[in-house]
Amino acid sequence: MAALDPSVVVAVVGAGAMGQGIAQVAAEAGHPVLLYDTRPGAAEAAVAAIAQALTSLVGKDKRTAAARDAAVGRLRAAGGLPDLAGAGLVVEAIVEDLDVKRRLFAELEGIVGDGTILATNTSSLSVTAIGAGIGRPERLAGLHFFNPAPLMALVEVVGGLASDAGVLDTLVDTAKAWGKSPVRCRSTPGFIVNRVARPFYAEGLRLLQEQAADPATIDAVMREAGGFRMGPFELMDLIGHDVNFAVTRSVHAAYFGDPRFQPSLIQQELVEAGRLGRKSGRGFYDHAAGAAKPAPRTAEPGPRPHRVTVRGDLGPAAALAGLLREAGVAVEEQPGTGLLVADGVTLALTDGRTATARAAEDGIAPLVLFDLALDYAKAARVALAPADGTPAEAVAAAAGLFQALGKAVSVIDDAPAMVVMRTVAMLASEAADAVMQGVAGAADVDTAMTKGVNYPLGPLAWAERIGLPRVVGVLDALARTYGEDRYRASALLRRKISATQIAQIPSPPRGEGQEPTL
């Protein structure tokens, strides 16, 4: 099948922010659009709001007046569901309530034609369960936009158990024609984004619970070292803690209490206190007018290193040797296990163990660990974690090494796998599980996370860059430290490592190592 012809009428049920956004996207793509809402006057108000939004874009030279007028001319408020009889596609964007959605589609099924595609914009409910309430569930699928729909590129096209393959193909092609980046996924709790993204919030909350660092510092490290557009606490404040906590609880319950999705007591307390983030004026941060955002914890200037010894392969941090040379620091390279030695202090990229455990197990003191960065050349900040008992002058020397490269340094408490490495490893494992369980393909998972939540790199591509053995090693170290199934590494990651090892086994000479045949 191909994309819906622009002459096909698109109906949107629900005139809230999401419904408005979907209606605007369809109208700008050339479709006649009917917008319906049960609230009196809501559909008319939504059409006016879309016209105002497009006028604002004209003022910013992002739309022409002619394009605005044409799109607005395609929009019409419907007086009732019977007005949607001629629609070729109906998208619902109403309350997240299974029974309410089922009743809506059951009513629509008696109104629209046999060839009409029915789509739900649900972000958390089962498409299969919604479809089970109608006579022809094969024509219903998920078409999950992200807010704000006109700006966000991602659309999850979600197949329920009964969804017809042709319907899914049409929705994918239509989303592309509307200028979106669609991904295919199966109807499982959280689909792709709301499932794979859970560790982004969960690990930040756990680090805060364990007093590894304050929210402002964790956010700064995730932005300035990890390359994320926002840190977890900033993003939760933006989303709203009531919404984010509800999604986490929903996914946790849907997976029968899997500890990977365990909700946070800290976030629950914020919700109970009414501190929902920006919309209530306070969450992790004070959003009142004029309120100053707290600064991240930043180390005082330390001594510039006289000489740095690089011992072995630094893996994802290999660029540090060249960066130090460019900064005018003398660098000597020696065989070893991936360490930096500067003025008597040893530094190492976190491998998932605490600095204290690693110092004791490997017999290294003083030892200071540093966190993963997306790109050490571009990173504006690096996190350090010293082993317990490390002298202050050793920590200052470690900070001075990164400060010589122009980086701000945040010293955090000795948390296993630190901040960026811990989060990325967990994201990669969850993404790999989604692929292994047939929720979506690897490319679609990475696309979903970059287009849907603006990650700087897809978690699977990032894992490949770090090295799968290193990622699994980090997860295994976390699992040993906490003794929890929460940190189990995806079986698919282990399988990929084994497959790579098999590929490196030399083939036996022809005729050797073969069983005789008769």
Catalytic residues: 123, 144, 156, 194
Supply the angle between the helices 215-224 and 420-436 in degrees, to the nearest 10: 70
Query: Are the C-beta atoms of 497 and 472 separated by less than 8 Å?
Result: yes
User: HEC states along 265-284?
Assistant: HHHHHHHHCCCCECCCCECC
- Cα–Cα nearest to 65, from 57, 201, 158: 57
Query: Are the C-beta atoms of 60 and 103 separated by less than 8 Å?
Result: no
The C-alpha R_g of the chain, in whole angstroms, comes to 26
Given the structure tokens 């070729």, which residue do they identify? Answer: 88
Please give the structure tokens belonging to residue 496: 């990929």
The separation between the first and the last C-alpha atoms of the chain, rounded to the nearest angstrom, is: 52
Please give the structure tokens belonging to residue 504: 């490196």
Q: Give phi and psi for 461, each to the nearest 5.
A: -65, -40
CA distance 13 to 104: 9
CA distance 463 to 459: 6
Please give the structure tokens belonging to residue 161: 């158990």
Burial (Cβ within 10 Å: 0-12, 13-18, ≥19) of residue 132: middle
3-state secondary structure of 156: strand
DSSP code per residue over 366-380: SEEEE---S-TTT-S
Cα 163 to Cα 147, 418, 445, 463, 516: the distances in Å are 25, 43, 20, 33, 50
What is the maximum span of the chain, computed from C-alpha positions, in angstroms? 86
Q: Cis link prior to 386 (omega < 30° from 0)?
A: no
Amino acid at 346: T
CA distance 11 to 19: 10
Name residues whose C-beta falls within 8 Å of residue 214's C-beta, 6 or more positions apart in sequence: 208, 294, 296, 297
